[in-house]
A and B are shown apart, each in its own frame.
Chain A
């Protein structure tokens, strides 16, 4: 039996007294696209923040590539190969597009060759970013900012890319384009953990999914199973 690339076991995370994650179990295999869906406040963002080390779980364990990464500071976790494109994009607004991308490659140190190569890949994926490379991040359109967030996360050449609501606030055309790009990134060998409110689109893209409700995984399965599931259809796909 092979070990999953990312394994989360019985993770409990708190914000002060708020018990945000109540024993999450989750696995992502190498090469997969896995989606995490759930209503507002279910704990999706918190799950990603726990994995990337921005918050420490009070209980449970996070394993990457078989190694226990619990308690490692966030800047060390990126180096291991986990990139997190955060919710709300969070690009550096007064840094140029190029500087934003360079920050994405910060964990590579001074390895200019690798950085240049990654930049080529990112520009290949998002030609728009190359056109805008000297523009300040804050002056980009919403769609361009989303490209920058994803591109920046890819600059570290991650093994797994975690995306938090990449479709948020984008026009339907752009949402389609972004999801296509995610598929493309996955084809190029990057494992994806995708948090989405747009459950239908996410499940169509993903291989497997987990449904989160108030800090617990209430359902999981292949994307096809979830798309057919009665409860999922009612609660998340807006069907009667």
Chain B
């Protein structure tokens, strides 16, 4: 039981990362029917920016108040990655908007390789390690299992970000416009919506969330590498499909479920640890066979 609880807690933490990254895939897909294969790399850039900012602001002692420093680090990294995301859309996707479906995919892969190489050139090919002990080493015991401060913080921050996004999408004028554009570009235009601006907005939001995930992964695992975008990105992509790609609550649910499945399977199956990564893809295959629209994928309402 303790073991189960511990695996579940770890799974929820990893699930929060997947969910944050999955949102970026799902929002872009929802609006452009494009898989932004460079999204995982934007998240990786966020992780590296977080690393640099942690060193520059916390380790250097520049900002003594930890909470203030972390807030600034999150905001700066999220802002910079958001701008990178919007720039990526302008340069790599917008010119190909009318070029069919293959060209943007190739462009996305190119952008992915580009981002990886930029980070490799700046930081070098070896992995980096977030300094230890940024957050105090506090943990709590729940029924024999442990929750660390980093895990709790990850959960709280992710839920705040996701809740904020959900509120924005569901309750505000711009959020409603995002949903309208996702349904029908031309009709959205007829409403007076500047579709290009909405697309830019989506390319700001998704990468910002990914960057937050990137910093938290750095704080949680410590090690980051310029190729990490692919690994986490693919998992998060599976999470988006699990929840129903294009569906925002689906990405959140899919992320947490995948994190929990994966960690439990790794803990309980024989040689589970070795199979951990395969489990995500097993889930992907099962979903594609059993329920291609994903768990929350909407059955499209037929128009008469």
Chain A residues with CB under 8 Å of chain B are: 52-54, 73-75, 78-79, 83-84, 86, 88-95, 99, 102-104, 106-107, 110, 136, 138-139, 142, 145, 152-153, 156, 169
Encoded as 1 (CB less than 8 Å from any A CB) or 0, chain B from 152 to 195 comes to 00000000000000000000010011011001101111111111
What chain B residues lie within 8 Å of A153 (beta carbons)?
190
Q: Are B303 and A103 in contact (CB under 8 A)?
A: no
Which one, B186, B191, B195, B303, contacts A104 given CB within 8 A?
Answer: B191
Q: Are A145 and B304 in contact (CB under 8 A)?
A: yes
Nearest-neighbour CB distance to chain B for A87, whole angstroms, equals 11
Q: Which residue of B lies closest to A107 (CB)?
A: B192
- Report Cα–Cα, A102/B180, bound state, in Å: 11
Q: Are A145 and B303 in contact (CB under 8 A)?
A: yes
Q: A53-B189, A103-B176, A103-B191 given. 18 additional CB < 8 A pairs?
A: A54-B190, A73-B189, A75-B192, A75-B194, A75-B195, A78-B192, A79-B192, A94-B183, A94-B298, A95-B176, A95-B179, A102-B176, A103-B180, A106-B192, A110-B173, A136-B301, A156-B191, A156-B192
What chain B residues lie within 8 Å of A152 (beta carbons)?
191
10 CB < 8 A contacts A-B: A90-B184, A92-B187, A95-B180, A99-B176, A102-B173, A103-B176, A106-B192, A106-B193, A138-B302, A152-B191
State the interface size on chain B (CB cutoff 8 A). Answer: 23
- Report Cα–Cα, A89/B190, bound state, in Å: 12
Q: Which residue of A lies closest to B197 (CB)?
A: A75
- Report Cα–Cα, A103/B192, bound state, in Å: 8
- Report Cα–Cα, A73/B193, bound state, in Å: 10
- Report Cα–Cα, A89/B193, bound state, in Å: 18
Which one, A95, A103, A138, A139, contacts B193 given CB within 8 A?
Answer: A103
- Report Cα–Cα, A138/B183, bound state, in Å: 12
Q: Are A75 and B186 in contact (CB under 8 A)?
A: no
Nearest-neighbour CB distance to chain B for A160, whole angstroms, equals 13
What chain A residues lie within 8 Å of B193 (beta carbons)?
75, 103, 106
Q: Which residue of A lies closest to B195 (CB)?
A: A75
